[in-house]
């Protein structure tokens, strides 16, 4: 949304006021639901308090992700100051928080006192930013969740967030009167993006503090929810309740990690309106999203790129290369103490860590992470492909494959899984259905696969378990 060459932020848009229902706090009584008029009034008042405490446009404020209502109110208040939000994980340890604050150059931390009122605490004077380098104000800085090693955070502008929300809303049909249930963490882009989509559409945001399958199922039935975002383990837990989706539910967006053929087939057969999606923090979430699935997609297929995005990858799976993306949703750059844009970008292109190709119909196929490719016996093996194949074995639920160093073969695959299959059953099945280099050499059944706070698989923990086996 552009006005006179400058991105129009959420504070200036007409849908931030009106009698429509803006926000429902799932943990609060019904009479505390928020209309857009009420949300706007409180956000304006809070923005005034922030200015009185010294907050300036362009500055960055670290805000705890919980309570979720408090974080959403700060999103709207900061937009009215043209200041930016840095969400902080509830479980963040003190040293980790200090590293994040130093990395981003945050000027302020928002803290609640004993009375429940909030105050800003100044950290530093902040970096000097040449205004010409920022054609759209910085709005959000989010720590990335999918990589290991040194921490990183993506800097997203108002223009990035508006473009991402508009593309998603158009593709998924979100509008005024719809309701999106958010049970994903608000410290990650998967959860935060829902708040921006609802604000842009004038839809209702239904907030849950974490994922509880029974609570989500209950609200799906009683709240007339139209949209829902999940990662595959959450979908599996909802299906385990054996309750049909309500008639109001039109979109179940599944992303964050690969959706197995078996789980997709089970959900489709039960009537759940699945859409698979692929995206990341650096692109303000979605890059590609499918239409409603009528059958399980081929392994790795995530739909066509959203309109107006430039996507560059190989034409076939024989020689895959890392996916590149360019467009209005791509971040301003990785966070740095000087808050200079462009870090991590080349001529506007962002190169992901995911190997990808295009299918014959133009759909994007994700083959796995470039840094996850294992070489065993001189052959490149993609764990994501092995996981997709294993998910089709009888008696297997969720599955994850990791590699261990092997002095002879280079890498040795270990498969973790849930379900009734025995390790012997799986070994025999793999001897028939998998090529030799793709066959795991060990099978470890678990009651549940370990997950990160974001709901994604904790592959680091799995590698530790594999070494202990």
Among 364, 453, 389, smallest CA distance to 146 is for 453
Among 263, 344, 337, 257, smallest CA distance to 302 is for 257
Q: How far apart are CA 32 and CA 14, in angstroms?
A: 23
In this predicted structure, what is the pLDDT of residue 206? 97
In this predicted structure, what is the pLDDT of residue 383? 86
Among 300, 363, 285, 354, smallest CA distance to 323 is for 354
Residue ranges in the chain whose pLDDT is less than 50: 1-9, 11-15, 146-148
Using alpha carbons, list the distances in angstroms from residue 25 to 223, 241, 410.
12, 24, 51
214-273, pLDDT tens digit by residue?
Answer: 999 999 999 999 999 999 889 989 999 999 999 999 999 999 888 888 889 999 999 999
In this predicted structure, what is the pLDDT of residue 117? 72
**Which residues, in sequence order, are CB contacts of 428 under 8 Å at separation 6+?**
none
> How long is the chain?
469
In this predicted structure, what is the pLDDT of residue 115? 52
In this predicted structure, what is the pLDDT of residue 128? 55
Which position has the token pair 């303000």?
A: 284
pTM: 0.84
Computed on alpha carbons and rounded to an integer, the radius of gyration of the chain in Å comes to 22
190-216, pLDDT tens digit by residue?
Answer: 999 999 999 999 999 999 998 999 999
**Domains defined for the chain, CATH in brackets:** 2-367 (3.40.50.12780), 373-468 (3.30.300.30)
């Amino acid at each position: 949304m552009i006005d006179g060459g400058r991105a129009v932020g959420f504070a200036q848009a007409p849908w931030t006021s009106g009698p429509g229902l803006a926000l429902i706090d799932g943990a609060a009584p019904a009479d505390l639901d928020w209309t857009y008029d009420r949300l706007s009034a409180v956000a304006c008042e809070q923005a005034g308090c922030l200015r009185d405490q010294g907050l300036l446009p362009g500055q960055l404020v670290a805000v705890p992700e919980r309570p979720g209502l408090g974080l959403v109110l700060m999103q709207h208040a900061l937009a009215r100051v043209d200041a930016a939000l840095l969400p902080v994980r509830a479980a963040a340890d003190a040293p980790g928080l200090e590293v994040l604050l130093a990395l981003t150059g945050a000027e302020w931390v928002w803290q609640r006192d004993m009375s429940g009122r909030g105050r800003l605490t100044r950290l530093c004077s902040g970096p000097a930013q040449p205004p010409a380098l920022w054609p759209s104000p910085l709005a959000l800085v989010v720590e990335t969740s999918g990589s290991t090693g040194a921490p990183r955070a993506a800097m997203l502008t108002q223009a990035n967030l508006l473009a991402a929300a508009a593309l998603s809303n158009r593709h998924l049909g979100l509008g005024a009167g719809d309701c999106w249930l958010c049970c994903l963490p608000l410290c990650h882009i998967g959860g935060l993006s829902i708040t921006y989509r609802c604000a842009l559409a004038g839809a209702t945001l239904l907030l849950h503090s974490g994922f509880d399958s029974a609570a989500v199922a209950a609200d799906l039935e009683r709240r007339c929810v139209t949209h829902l975002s999940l990662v595959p383990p959450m979908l599996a837990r909802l299906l385990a309740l054996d309750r049909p989706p309500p008639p109001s539910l039109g979109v179940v967006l599944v992303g964050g990690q690969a959706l197995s053929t078996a789980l997709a087939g089970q959900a489709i057969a039960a009537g759940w309106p699945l859409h698979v999606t692929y995206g990341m923090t650096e692109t303000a979430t979605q890059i590609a999203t499918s239409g409603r699935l009528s059958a399980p997609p081929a392994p790795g297929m995530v739909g066509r790129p959203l309109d107006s995005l430039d996507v560059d990858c190989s034409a076939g799976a024989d020689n895959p290369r890392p996916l590149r993306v360019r467009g209005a949703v791509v971040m301003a750059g990785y966070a740095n103490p000087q808050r200079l844009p462009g870090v991590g970008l080349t001529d506007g292109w962002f190169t992901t860590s995911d190997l990808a190709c295009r299918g014959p119909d133009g759909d994007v196929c994700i083959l796995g992470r470039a840094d996850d490719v294992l070489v065993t016996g001189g052959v490149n093996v993609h764990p994501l492909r092995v996981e997709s194949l294993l998910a089709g074995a009888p008696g297997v639920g969720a599955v994850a494959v990791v590699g261990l160093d092997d002095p002879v073969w280079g890498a040795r695959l270990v498969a973790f899984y849930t379900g009734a299959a025995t390790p012997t059953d799986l070994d025999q099945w793999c001897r028939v259905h998998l090529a030799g280099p793709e066959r795991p050499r060990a099978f470890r059944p678990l009651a549940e696969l370990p997950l990160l706070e974001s709901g994604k698989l904790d592959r680091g923990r799995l590698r530790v378990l594999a070494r202990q086996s």
